[in-house]
Amino acid sequence: MKPKLVIGNKNYSSWSLGAWFLLREAGVDFDEHRIVLDTETTRTEIAAFTRAGRVPVLILDGHSVWDSMAIAETVAERWPETKLWPDDPAQRAHARSISAEMHSGFEVLRAKMPMNCRAMGRRVPLPDELTDEIDRVIEIWSHCHREFPTGEGWLFGRFTIADAMFAPAVLRFRTYGINLPESAGYYPRRVLESPAIQDWLAAAESETEVIECDETGQ
């Protein structure tokens, strides 16, 4: 039985994007189950898969795995041939560190720049606390470009979990027109060239649901 990935709206659900992108780039064949977020039935629909109350959820061998980082680690363990962490121990430690930093931090970025793939050209105020988080993302991408140079354009040469964790930031920066130095601009270009990301953006454009808080920010 193929694994099933339960996700939210592709236009808005950044956590869903990370898990979905990981599976697609890793070449794992899976079924997709989309739940429309912020409706009267959303909580009940998600509860059929997890009591945690959030997407994404990976259904694997009849068991639920929730939280994007747990899903990523499970996929890496279940399909070791995908090599979703760098082989080099130092690079692997660095990849784990920045993945965990993105997973647990950047609260201001998430709140002030909600993912909204359809809202191209949108601008938001850039208070110092938001600018600091944007600068940190740029620093991470620039450091990887400098320390782990590669012709493939991913953060650590081949695609890794770190790329799945940072893909939502790429789409946020795309929506809000964040200017990037060349040392960091290479990375969003690589992500946006991915056929998987192009498929995700096309699906997001075709969705009709509107989540008001992600249209106005918080």
Which architecture, in CATH terms, is 89-201?
A: Up-down Bundle (1.20)
CATH number of 4-82: 3.40.30.10
Q: What is the pLDDT of residue 218?
A: 45
Residue ranges per structural domain of the chain = 4-82, 89-201
Q: What is the pLDDT of residue 189?
A: 94
Q: Backbone phi, then psi, for 157, in 5-degree steps?
A: 95, -90
Strand blocks (E) in the chain: 4-7, 31-34, 57-60, 63-66
- Say if CB 165 and CB 103 are below 8 A apart: yes
- Say if CB 84 and CB 188 are below 8 A apart: no
DSSP string, 115-162: --TT-TT------HHHHHHHHHHHHHHHHHHHHS--SS-BTBBB--HH
Q: What is the pLDDT of residue 169?
A: 98
Tell me which residues of the chain have a pLDDT lower than 50.
217-218
pLDDT tens profile 153-185: 999 999 999 999 999 999 999 999 999 998 888
pLDDT tens profile 77-99: 999 999 999 999 999 999 999 99
Kindly report the pTM of this predicted structure: 0.94
- Say if CB 66 and CB 56 are below 8 A apart: yes
* Location of structure tokens 């600091």: 132
Q: What is the pLDDT of residue 216?
A: 60
